[in-house]
Amino acid sequence: QHYISNIEERNAEVNAVVSIDKDGALSRAKEIQERIDDGTAGNLAGMVIGIKDLICERDKQATCASNILSNFESVYDATVVERLREDDAILLGRLNMDEFAMGSSTENTIYGPTKNPVNTDKVAGGSSGGSAAAVAADFCTASLGSDTGGSIRQPASYCGVVGLKPTYGRVSRHGLIAFASSFDCIGPLTHSVKDAAILLETIAGADPNDNTSSSRTVPNYRQFAEEPDSNIRIGVPEEYFGEGLDNEIKEGIQAKLDELEQNGAELVPIHLPHMKYGIATYYILATAEASSNLARYDGIRYGHRADIKDVEKDLKLEREAITEQIKQAKGDEKVELSAKLEDMDSALIRLYKKSRTEGFGDEVKRRIMLGTYVLSAGYYDAYYAKAQKVRRLIKEDFTKAFEDVDVIVSPTAPSTAFDLGTNQDNPVQMYLNDIYTTSANLAGICGLSVPAGTHSNGLPYGMQFMADTFEEGKLFNAGR
């Protein structure tokens, strides 16, 4: 009831929640209360969780904030949702996002932008902006988001909450609508490091429905957050604190590092020389995978379908017009027109094109075009194949660094939340927001953003810890 009234009071302004299941949540709360009373409740009893609108919940919409899925309801629960239910979480609402998780501001959405609860002239970050804002505005105890290149950590930084991108394969992707399958990770956004640890413990683990999920045992993550050990080695990569980083953020993180050092941590200067290729590599590979993943939205099997009657009518009229022109034409012109008539797309292909034209927003179309281009014959070796090689080099930088340090520290994003609307016409500027986050996805390692301070502009900013694959415990330890 507490969260429902917060949503009713403030969601009209913040726009983090896109649909809410009040009755379902309240009756579930009653049911769980009974289990709490007789001592049989699960680990998450009392936690109210919001879900990014690309993780499937049975009988609920999963729109990806896209017209193409605006009528889509899932017939099954994602594995993470199943696990949340088993542990007695209450699922209250579906959360706003950038369309198909493509973006850094939650402005590419059919629902209108999510606003930053700390200052509603600012973006909440993205693509899990709804998930970060919902936690910051106290619309739920915690939320789930997805992180392909920073989409959990960057909005967490902008909204002043904790955001975890687990190791690739730590959490099942079954029921997560795909953006870039070799990058996508589901993770929690929370008020505290401990809550993130508790949630990871619930959602992590092997799943026969996702053969990239790891069968490694799930540790007691909570213990790392409850009994932090300050005797750790923290790698400080020079490349992450250079040009482009807001000076106050840089100084603020330095102050936190000094505190950690006073408490027993050792700061180790390190180098990650290929970091500078992170953004380029990410935007080649992620768009390539996206163009392939999004080919399934054809308006035939499911999703938005353009009106076939309109398509057939237009086709008929065009055919008649050309046939008429052919009658009047002579010589070359006649040959050309006849060829044009011959080459016209069938009604079915036109339906497919029109459905996708109407269904996808500009940024998604841009990614499909970029991704199709880098995969095309003649360009594949120059872009896609080369980017795969650079991905390996970035991964090797980290492997080497983690021989000497427990965690690596960096800013989460180069600035605090920017004004709504400012980067909308400049996709490259928008992509540069991901400069500190994409490397972890390229390498498959884990990353955690924790609030690090408040800027003189009044906005929060985060700092990021990264750890080697399956070392989330070290993140909770350092983050705490």
For ligand GLN, the binding residue among 15, 67, 96, 104 (CB under 6 A) is 104
| CA torsion through residues 28, 33, 39, 43, sign | positive
For ligand GLN, the binding residue among 68, 90, 101, 142 (CB under 6 A) is 101
**With binding defined as CB under 6 A, does residue 374 bind ligand GLN?**
no
Q: What CA–CA distance (Å, rounded) separates 416 from 432?
A: 13
**With binding defined as CB under 6 A, does residue 239 bind ligand GLN?**
no
For ligand GLN, the binding residue among 79, 148, 190, 202 (CB under 6 A) is 148
Answer whether 36's CB lies under 8 Å from 115's CB.
no
**With binding defined as CB under 6 A, does residue 151 bind ligand GLN?**
yes
Tokens standing for 79? 């594995």
Is 105 an annotated catalytic residue? no
**With binding defined as CB under 6 A, does residue 102 bind ligand GLN?**
yes
- Give the pairing of strands 90-95 and 142-147: unpaired
* Closer residue to ligand GLN, CB minimum distance, 337 or 430: 430
**With binding defined as CB under 6 A, does residue 294 bind ligand GLN?**
no
Q: What CA–CA distance (Å, rounded) separates 196 from 221?
A: 9
Report CA-CA distances (Å) from 420 to 107, 140, 427. 8, 24, 14
Question: Phi/psi of residue 212, each to 5°?
Answer: -95, 0
Span near ligand GLN by CB under 6 A; candidates 102-110, 201-209, 334-342, 380-388: 102-110
Is 192 an annotated catalytic residue? no
Q: In the bound complex, what is the minimum distance in angstroms from residue 175's beta carbon to ligand GLN?
A: 16
Q: Does a cis peptide bond (omega within 30 degrees of 0) precede residue 66?
A: no
* Closer residue to ligand GLN, CB minimum distance, 224 or 360: 360
**With binding defined as CB under 6 A, does residue 66 bind ligand GLN?**
no
Which of left, alpha, beta for 394 (phi over 0: left; psi -120 to 50: alpha)?
alpha
Q: What CA–CA distance (Å, rounded) separates 126 from 251?
A: 25
Span near ligand GLN by CB under 6 A; candidates 11-19, 146-154, 347-355, 416-424: 146-154
Answer whether 417's CB lies under 8 Å from 122's CB.
yes
Is 66 an annotated catalytic residue? no
* Cβ-closest position to ligand GLN: 151
Q: Which residue out of 104, 131, 143, 151 is catalytically annotated?
A: 151
Q: In the bound complex, what is the minimum distance in angstroms from residue 335's beta carbon to ligand GLN?
A: 47
**With binding defined as CB under 6 A, does residue 158 bind ligand GLN?**
no
Q: What CA–CA distance (Å, rounded) separates 156 from 85?
A: 24
For ligand GLN, the binding residue among 93, 129, 130, 149 (CB under 6 A) is 149
Please give the DSSP secondary-structure letter assigned to residue 383.
I
**With binding defined as CB under 6 A, does residue 150 bind ligand GLN?**
yes
**With binding defined as CB under 6 A, does residue 127 bind ligand GLN?**
yes
Tokens standing for 312? 């057939």
* Closer residue to ligand GLN, CB minimum distance, 337 or 364: 364
DSSP 281-295: HHHHHHHHHHHHHGG
Q: Which residues are catalytic?
A: 52, 127, 151
Residues making contact with ligand GLN (CB under 6 A): 101-104, 127, 146-151, 179, 286, 434
